[in-house]
Amino acid sequence: MASKETTAAGFVSVSREITESIRKVLDKQAVKFVRAIKQDTRSGKSEDRILVLATWRLYLFAVKVPTKVEVTFNFLEIRAMNTYPEHQVVIDTDKTTYSLRLQTQDQLDHMVSHINYALSRVFNNSIYAPPICRAEGDLTDGSHKFSPNSESSLEPQKTCGGFSETYAALCDYNGIGCKEEVQWDVDTIYHSQDNREFNLLDFSHLDSRDLAVIVASMAYNTWFTKLYCKDMRIGSEVVDQVLHTVSKSNSLEELTLENAGLKSDFPQKMASALSENPASVIHSLNLAHNTLDNQGVSNLIQQVCRLNKGLRLLNLSKTSLSSKGVVSLSQALCSSDDYSNSLLHLDLSKNPGVLSGEDATNLYLFLAQPNCLVHLDLSGTDCTVDSLFGALLRGCCADLSYLNLIRGWPTHGWRVSAAGTL
State what percent of residues in the chain have pLDDT above 70: 86
> What span, in angstroms and rounded, lies between the C-alpha atoms of 37 and 71?
13
Q: Give me the pLDDT at residue 324, please.
A: 84
Give the relative orientation of helices 266-275 and 294-305 as an angle to the nearest 10 degrees: 20
Q: Over 50: is that where the pLDDT of 413 sits?
A: no
Q: For residue 51, which phi and psi values (nearest 5 degrees)?
A: -85, 125
Q: Over 50: is that where the pLDDT of 122 sits?
A: yes
- Which tens digits make up the pLDDT trace of 296-349? 988 888 888 777 677 899 999 999 998 888 888 888 888 777 777 889 999 999
Given a contact cutoff of 8 angstroms between Cβ atoms, the answer to whether 164 and 124 are in contact is no
Residue 38's beta-bridge partner residues? 48, 101
| CA dihedral of residues 166, 167, 171, 172 (deg, nearest 10) | -30
* Residue at 43: amino acid letter: S
Q: Give me the pLDDT at residue 148, please.
A: 38
Given a contact cutoff of 8 angstroms between Cβ atoms, the answer to whether 126 and 220 are in contact is yes
- Which tens digits make up the pLDDT trace of 137-189? 333 343 334 333 333 334 556 899 999 999 999 999 999 999 999 999 999 99
Model confidence band, residue 418 (pLDDT cutoffs 50, 70, 90): very low
Compute CA distances 101 → 48, 59, 81, 342, whole Å. 10, 14, 13, 57
Residue (of 54, 71, 75, 27) closest to 173 by Cα position: 75
Q: Over 50: is that where the pLDDT of 45 sits?
A: yes
Element (H, E) at 17: helix 16-26
Measured CA angle at 171 (ends 168, 175), to 5 deg: 145
CB atoms within 10 A of CB 383: 20
Question: Is 291 or 359 the better-scoring residue by pLDDT?
Answer: 291
The H-assigned helical ranges of 198-282 are 208-216, 236-248, 266-275
What is the residue extent of each domain of the chain?
A: 16-153, 159-404
What is the DSSP pairing of strand 226-230 with strand 345-347? unpaired
90 CA to centre of own chain: 29
Q: Give me the pLDDT at residue 6, please.
A: 58
User: How far apart are the two ends of the chain, measured CA to CA in Å?
Assistant: 89
Q: Give me the pLDDT at residue 421, please.
A: 41
Contacts of 184 (CB under 8 A, 6+ apart): none
Residue (of 280, 203, 293, 201) closest to 244 by Cα position: 280
The whole-number average pLDDT for the span 52-81 is: 95
Which of 29-33, 100-104, 108-112, 301-305 is predicted least confidently? 301-305
Residue (of 291, 225, 235, 304) closest to 258 by Cα position: 291
Three-state DSSP at 42 gives coil
Q: Give me the pLDDT at residue 348, please.
A: 96
Q: Over 60: is that where the pLDDT of 74 sits?
A: yes
Is the N-terminal amide bond of 278 cis, ω within 30° of 0?
A: no
Contacts of 106 (CB under 8 A, 6+ apart): none
What is the DSSP pairing of strand 284-286 with strand 226-230? unpaired
CATH architecture, range 159-404: Alpha-Beta Horseshoe (3.80)
> What span, in angstroms and rounded, lies between the C-alpha atoms of 246 and 121?
20
The H-assigned helical ranges of 156-198 are 163-174, 180-184, 191-192
84 CA to centre of own chain: 34
Q: Give me the pLDDT at residue 255, please.
A: 98
Average pLDDT for the chain: 85
Does domain 16-153 fall into CATH 2.40.420.20?
no
Compute CA distances 398 → 73, 87, 312, whole Å. 60, 71, 17
- Which tens digits make up the pLDDT trace of 249-291? 999 999 999 999 999 999 999 999 999 998 999 999 999 999 9
Burial class (CB in 10 A: 0-12, 13-18, 19+), 92: middle
Model confidence band, residue 406 (pLDDT cutoffs 50, 70, 90): confident
- Which tens digits make up the pLDDT trace of 46-59? 999 999 999 999 99
Q: Give me the pLDDT at residue 128, please.
A: 56
Element (H, E) at 98: strand 97-101
Given a contact cutoff of 8 angstroms between Cβ atoms, the answer to whether 25 and 68 are in contact is yes
Compute CA distances 352 → 94, 292, 378, whole Å. 50, 15, 10
The whole-number average pLDDT for the span 377-382 is: 93
Q: Give me the pLDDT at residue 394, please.
A: 82
Given a contact cutoff of 8 angstroms between Cβ atoms, the answer to whether 253 and 196 are in contact is no
The whole-number average pLDDT for the span 81-103 is: 94
